[in-house]
Amino acid sequence: MKVNMYLNKRVAIVGAGLTLFRRRLLETPQEIAWEASRKALDEAGLELKDIDCIVIGSAPDAFDGVHLKGEYLSHGSGGIGKPVSRVYVGGATGVMTAIAGWYHVASGMCQKVLAVAEEKMSPARPHPQSVFKYIWDPILEKPLNPNLIWIFAMEMHRYMAKYGIKKEEIALVSVKNKRNAMNNPYAQLGSNITVDDVLNSEVLVWPVQLLDVSPVSDGGAAIVLASEDVARRYTDTPVWVEGVGWTLDNTEWPARDLSYARYVEFAARMAYKMAGIERPNKEIDVVEPYDPFDYKELHHLEALQLAKRGEAPTLLKEGIFDIDGDIPSSPSGGLLGVGNPIAAAGLMKVASIYWQLKGTAGKMQVKKPVHTGVAQSWGDLMQAGTVIVLRN
Amino acid sequence: MNQIAIIGTGWYGFRPSTPEVSFREMVFEAATRAYQDAGVNPRNDVDSFISCQEDFWEGISISDEFAPDQIGGALRPTMTVAGDSLQGLAHAFMHINSGVADVVAVEAHSKVSDILTYSDIVKLSMDPVYVRSINPQNLHFIAGLDAVKFMERKKVSREDLAMVVEKNKVAGLSSPRASYASKISYQDVIDKDYVVYPLTELDIAPLVDGAIVMIVSTEEVAKKLKKDDYVLVKGIAYATDSANLETSELGKANYMRIASDLAYKMANVTSPRRYFDAVFVDDRYSYKELQHLEGLKISEDPSRDLNEGNFSPQGEIPVNPLGGHLAKGVPLEASGFSLLLDAIDYIKQGKIERALVGSWRGVPTFTGSVVVVEKP
C-alpha cells in the first residue's frame, strides 16, 4: 500500500459541532444533520455559501428507514447545488467521514468541506437490534438468526480467555467513560458508577452486561475542513490532519482471531506512517478509541499500539488512560458515556480530539498539554477500522 | 490536480437476470477481468478499493461488509461510496490526488433481479414526511411531472420522446451489453399505453443485472503499465440539486448543469458542443436524455437537434451511440460506469477521441455526475 508521507496539501479542521446525543430526539434526521452543521459552520466562522463540497456519513439506511439515505440527508447537511457524497464503512463511518473530508481538500478538489455524520436509531422498532438482523451473510449466517450482542459476546469472551482478563478489569472502562461524560454537555449517560454496578447489571449475552454497552442514541456531528491558506485566514488555532488510515478485513468473521483487532492495527499503521509517528505510546497525547462496548476500548487501545496485546487492562488499572493520566483515553466520555448514534459517534470522537488540541474542551480538557491526538472508529462485521491523527 | 487514467475495465452480466452467480461472484468475475486488462495484482499493486452500493438494493444492512473479498481488498484500504459509480470514480480521483494511492480499484454492481419489490424500495427513498406519506401509486410519478414541465418549457413533443427510444434501442444493436436493444419504430412507442403521462413502458429503461470494475491510476503508472492503451479522465464532478422534491426545480437538470460546469472547468472545456466527439448520457427515461443534453450545454434546442439527426450515431454529435440505458438497461449504482464503459469502448475502437459521460441517480434524486474522458 502506498502511503505518501509528503502530502500534497495540508488540511486543517477549523470548526466542529454536535447535537445533544439522546434517545428519541424529536427532530427529523435532516434537522439533526443541520443543527450539527450550523454549529460547525458557526465555530469556523463560515457560511454555507462558503462551503465547496459536502461529505455525509451515516450507518445503515434502515435506522432512519430511508433508502438512499445520503440523498435524503444532503438537504439537511446544506448540500443543495453542491457536490455531495456519502461514504460508508458501517460503524467505522464516523472517522471515515472525516477522512473523506480530508481527501476532498488534500486532493485539491475543494478548499472548504463540511463533513456531517448523522444517525437516528430510536425509530427502529422494537429496537435497533432488529435492524442488525439483516447484516449477516444471507445464506450462511442469517438462517441461524444471530443478533449483534451475541457475536460481540464471543469476541469479548475470546479476548478475556486469551489474555486471562477478568470482567472487573474491563468494567473499569465503563466506570471511567461514564465518569468522563459527566463533563460533557452533549452526553446522554454520564454518571458515577462503580465496577459493582457494571457486574450487577442485567446480563444480555454473557459476558456482555447492560452497563458494558453504550446506549442507543440519536445525534449528529459535523466538522469543517479547509486547505492551509484558507484555514490560516479563519483561525489562529487550526488543528491539522496529519495522518489517515482505513482498512476493511475479510467478511468471514468466524475465521478470524477475535482477540485482536488487526484491521485497526493496519489502519493505525497507515495513519502513523503518514503522520511520522514511530512510537505511538510516547508520541500520542490523547486518544478517542471507539468504545461501543467497554472491552472494545481496550481492544482498540492495543490495536492502536498504545498497549501491548492483552496489557491494556493493566495500564487502565494503573490510571494511564484516566483524564489525568499519561494517555487520556475517551476524555469525552466515549460512546459509553456520550451515546452511540453510530456514525455520529465516530465523528464526535474526531470533534472531541479537535477541541482537545484547540484547548477549548472545557471541563473535558485533559490535564496535560496535548499536541497529538488520535480518533478511531470501528464497525461492519468486526472488520472495519478507521484512524485519524490530528496535531495542533 | 493531476488527471488520472483508466487502465483496466472488466464487466459481467448486463442481462435481465443472472441466476448462475451471486452478486459477489459477479463482482469477482468483473474484477478478475479488470485486473487482467490493467495488468495489476490487487494484493500488491492496488493501493485502495472503492465499492459503490446501497443497503436497500442489496437487501443487506451494512452492505459494505461484503465489499472486500471479491475485489481483493481485504485488510487493505477499502471503503464504500453510497452513490453512483461515477461518484466512486471521483473519490478514486481524490485518493490519487491526495497522495494516498497511485492505483485504485472501483467496483459497482446491480443484482436487481433479486429485488422482489423494486417499486416499494424506491418509495422508501422518498421523503417520509412530505412525499412517501401521500402513498404514490406509481414510482414514476415524479418523472412524469418533471417530463411534462420540461416538455412544456423546451417545446419538446411526445413524438420527440418516442424518437429518442427508437434511436437508442436501434443503436444498442451494436453493443454486446444491450439486452434490450431492438429494431422498433417510434410509432411502436406512441402506440403503447402510458405508465404515467407522458411515458409509456418503452420510454422507461428496464432494469438489468451487471457488475463493472475499473482500475484507475496516475498517468505515470498508466504509461508504465499500458504505454498508450488507456483513457484519461480530464474532468470529473458531481452535484446534488436538492433531495427534497418540494424545493427542487422540476423540468430542469440543474444537478447536471452544476456538475458539468465543474467538470468542464477542470478539463478546460469552454465549448462542450464543439469539444466532444460523442456523449454518453443517462436516458433511463426518454425525456431525460434531452433534458440532460440541455443541462450539459450540448444543446439549447434538443428537439430540433434530435429531429435534424444531430444526435444519431452518424450525426454531428452522437448521443448514446451504443444504446444508453434504454437499450442496455439500468444497472443501479453501476449505471454511470455502464455509460463510461460505452465511452471507453468507443474511444478504443477508434471512433472518437473525446467523450462526455453524464449520469443520474434516478427517481427521486436530483444528483448527477459528469466525466470528461479522452485518448491520451
Q: What is the pLDDT of residues A219-254, one digit of tens each?
A: 999 999 999 999 999 999 999 999 999 999 999 998
Is B101 close to A9, i.e. CB distance below 8 A? no
Q: Could you tell me which chain A residue has the CA closest to the CA of B70?
A: A250
B99 touches chain A (CB under 8 A): yes
Q: What's this model's pTM, rounded to 2 decimal places?
A: 0.97
**Distance, in angstroms, between A199 CA and closest chain B CA?**
31
Is A86 close to B82, i.e. CB distance below 8 A? yes
**Distance, in angstroms, between A49 CA and closest chain B CA?**
14
Among B103, B240, B255, the strongest candidate for a mutation testing the A interface, having the largest count of A CBs within 10 A, is B240
Residue A49: partners with Cβ closer than 8 Å, 6 or more residues away: none
In chain B, which residues have pLDDT < 70? none
**Chain A residues 19-48 with CB within 8 Å of chain B:** 28
B309 touches chain A (CB under 8 A): no
Q: Give chain B positions within 8 Å (CB) of A133.
A: 61
Q: Distance between CA B221 and CA A1 in Å, rounded?
A: 14
Q: Distance between CA B103 and CA B214 in Å, rounded?
A: 11
Burial (Cβ within 10 Å: 0-12, 13-18, ≥19) of residue A390: buried
Q: Give chain B positions within 8 Å (CB) of A128.
A: none
Burial (Cβ within 10 Å: 0-12, 13-18, ≥19) of residue A196: exposed
Q: How many CB atoms lie within 10 A of CB A291?
A: 32
Q: Distance between CA A103 and CA A107 in Å, rounded?
A: 6
Pairing mode, if any, of strands A112-120 and A53-57? Answer: parallel
Q: Give me B201's grid cell.
A: 413502458
- Closest listed residue to residue A299, CA positions, set A265, A328, A334, A249: A265
> pLDDT tens digits, residue range A52-80?
999 999 988 988 889 999 999 999 999 99
Is B62 close to A380, i.e. CB distance below 8 A? yes
A131 touches chain B (CB under 8 A): yes
Q: Give me A207's grid cell.
A: 459476558
The full length of chain B comes to 376
Q: Distance between CA A375 and CA A354 in Å, rounded?
A: 9
Instruction: Answer for the pair A342, A59: CB distance below 8 angstroms, yes or no.
Output: yes
B338 touches chain A (CB under 8 A): no
Q: Give chain B positions within 8 Å (CB) of A380.
A: 62, 64-65
Q: Give chain A positions within 8 Å (CB) of B65.
A: 90, 135, 251, 380-381, 383
Percentage helix, strand, coil, to 5, in chain A? 40, 20, 40
Query: What value does the CA radius of gyration of chain B take, rounded to a whole number of Å?
Result: 19
A113 touches chain B (CB under 8 A): no
Q: Distance between CA B58 and CA A79 in Å, rounded?
A: 26
Q: Distance between CA A18 and CA A38 in Å, rounded?
A: 9
Q: How many CB atoms lie within 10 A of CB A385?
A: 34
Q: Distance between CA A357 and CA A342 in Å, rounded?
A: 24
- Closest listed residue to residue B77, CA positions, set A45, A48, A3, A24: A3
**Distance, in angstroms, between B351 CA and closest chain A CA?**
31
Is B239 close to A84, i.e. CB distance below 8 A? yes
Three-state SS string over A141-187 comes to CHHHCCCHHHHHHHHHHHHHHHHCCCHHHHHHHHHHHHHHHCCCCCC
pLDDT computed for residue A4 by the predictor:
53
- Exposure class string for B58-71: b at 16+ Cβ within 10 A, else e: bebbbbbbbbbbbb
pLDDT computed for residue A243 by the predictor:
96
The yes-or-no verdict on residue A5 having pLDDT over 60 is no
pLDDT computed for residue A7 by the predictor:
59
B66 touches chain A (CB under 8 A): yes
Is A61 close to B56, i.e. CB distance below 8 A? yes
- Closest listed residue to residue B376, CA positions, set B254, B178, B229: B229
Q: Give chain A positions within 8 Å (CB) of B82.
A: 68-70, 85-88
Distance between first and last Cα of chain B: 17
Pairing mode, if any, of strands A11-18 and A84-88? Answer: unpaired
Cα-Cα-Cα-Cα torsion A36, A39, A44, A49, nearest 10 degrees, comes to: 80
**Distance, in angstroms, between A73 CA and closest chain B CA?**
8
Q: Which amino acid is at A25?
A: L
Q: Could you tell me which chain B residue has the CA closest to the CA of A53?
A: B239
Query: Is the ipTM, as predicted for this complex, more than 0.90?
Result: yes
Give the nearest partner residue to B258 out of A81, A103, A274, using CB atoms.
A81
Q: Give chain B positions within 8 Å (CB) of A83.
A: 90, 237-240, 259, 262
Q: Which amino acid is at B232?
A: L
Instruction: Answer for the pair B368, B255: CB distance below 8 angstroms, yes or no.
Output: yes
Give the nearest partner residue to A250 out of B55, B68, B258, using CB atoms.
B68
Is A8 close to B56, i.e. CB distance below 8 A? no
**Chain A residues 328-357 with CB within 8 Å of chain B:** none
pLDDT computed for residue B247 by the predictor:
83
Q: Distance between CA A138 and CA A134 in Å, rounded?
A: 8
Q: Give chain B positions within 8 Å (CB) of A9.
A: 98
Q: Give me B116's grid cell.
A: 422482489
Give the nearest partner residue to A60 out of B55, B81, B259, using CB atoms.
B55
**Distance, in angstroms, between A115 CA and closest chain B CA?**
14
Give the nearest partner residue to B76 out of A1, A83, A262, using CB atoms.
A1
B87 touches chain A (CB under 8 A): yes
B119 touches chain A (CB under 8 A): no
Confidence label for A1 from pLDDT (cuts 50, 70 and 90): low
3 state SS of B101: coil
**Distance, in angstroms, between A60 CA and closest chain B CA?**
5
Is A1 close to B240, i.e. CB distance below 8 A? no
Q: Give chain A positions within 8 Å (CB) of B259.
A: 83
> pLDDT tens digits, residue range A309-332?
999 999 999 999 999 999 999 999
Is A248 close to B55, i.e. CB distance below 8 A? no
**Distance, in angstroms, between A280 CA and closest chain B CA?**
21
- Count how many pairs of residues, chain A against chain B, have C-beta atoms within 8 Å: 214
